[in-house]
Amino acid sequence: MLSALGAEVTIIEAMPRLLPLSSVDEAVSKVLQREFKKRKIQLLLDQTVVGMETGGEGVRVTVGPSAGTNLSGDRERGIQHLEVEKLLVCVGRAPNTGGIGLETVGVECDAKGWVLADRSLRTGRQGVWAIGDVLGPSKIMLAHAASAEGEVAAENIMGAAREMDYDTVPGAIFTQPEVAMVGLTQARAETEGIPALSATVLMRSIAKAQIIDELGGEAKIVFHAKTGRILGAHLVGPHATDLIAEATLAVRTRLTVNDLAGTIHAHPTLAEVIHEAALKAAGRPLHG
């Protein structure tokens, strides 16, 4: 966003890739890195801020290799200094559950202070329920996840027996280009012992992407190698955060690549990227 507004941007990331989350496919990170470089955003991956000094016109930031990279332990090796106007720190979130007496009523928290609740959103204290970010990163810290948890908790309070389905919560990241994902990555499926394949289609092969001249990006569908069931989808490109809704329905309702491939998609639309990926996954020829 800041780059689009005309600022010169440098991103310092401790991990070796942008968006180093287990839910984000590595290929998506690569596409984003490529697109950011085209926008002249400087990426310092595998680097951390080791010091900063304010004063004068801006901030002097000292950057060094991440602990995992700097194996020699030589603190001076690879150190560089950046002179910048502003430094924006956006690392992690912390709970604000201390000092309000949760322990006195028997609501348990983990060592970091996140409230413990099961998938029905019950806490350890009967009659006390918890939803949203207060549950911490072991659940999903997103607005639409919090809303869905609220519905589950409210229905359970009224006597239902619902559980929150964390496996089909989509993620949306409003970078340019946008990133969106739902379900498993291929790497995660393999870790879980699920035989998975994937099919990827480049955004530039889609007519609507050509029309709106937003060519960077791709759509990847991860599917069960034997049944063709759609296990996940990973999108990067224009309107990815809108396009993920179809894939979310597919994962949630256990559709197969044939189901998606056999669904007529309007032309020319960006949604055709999901259709083309499904056709490729189903082994059918792509449209010209």
Report, in Å, the least distance between residue 133 CB and ligand FAD: 4
Q: Where are the beta strands (DSSP E) in 149-261?
A: 171-173, 178-183, 196-202, 218-224, 230-237
Please report whether residue 178 would count as binding ligand FAD according to CB under 6 A: no
Please report whether residue 166 would count as binding ligand FAD according to CB under 6 A: no
Q: Which residues of 252-282 are buried (b: 16+ CB within 10 A; e: fewer)?
A: beebbbbbbbeeebeeebbbbbbbbbbbbbb
Give the CA angle between residues 229, 283, 236 to the nearest 5°. Answer: 70
Residues 6+ apart with CB under 8 A from 53: 59, 60
Residue span binding ligand FAD (CB under 6 A) among the ranges 5-13, 129-137, 184-192, 259-267: 129-137
Closer CB to ligand FAD, 139 or 275, in the complex: 139
Report, in Å, the least distance between residue 124 CB and ligand FAD: 19
Q: Which of 224, 267, 275, 287 is catalytic?
A: 267
Residue 211 region by backbone torsions, left for phi larger than 0, else alpha for psi between -120 and 50, else beta: alpha
Residue span binding ligand FAD (CB under 6 A) among the ranges 12-20, 42-50, 135-143, 255-263: 135-143
Asked if 32 contacts 236 with a C-beta cutoff of 8 angstroms, the reply is: yes
Farthest-apart Cα atoms in the chain, separation: 66
Among 144, 226, 267, 287, indicate the residue that binds ligand FAD (CB under 6 A).
144
Closest residue by Cα to residue 166 from 36, 22, 274: 22
Among 146, 197, 215, 249, indicate the residue that binds ligand FAD (CB under 6 A).
146
**Active-site residue flag, 267:** yes
Report, in Å, the least distance between residue 281 CB and ligand FAD: 28
Binding track over 65-104 against ligand FAD, x by CB under 6 A: -------------------------------x---x----
Summarize as ranges the residues that interact with ligand FAD (CB under 6 A).
96, 100, 132-134, 141-144, 146, 172, 174
Active site members? 267
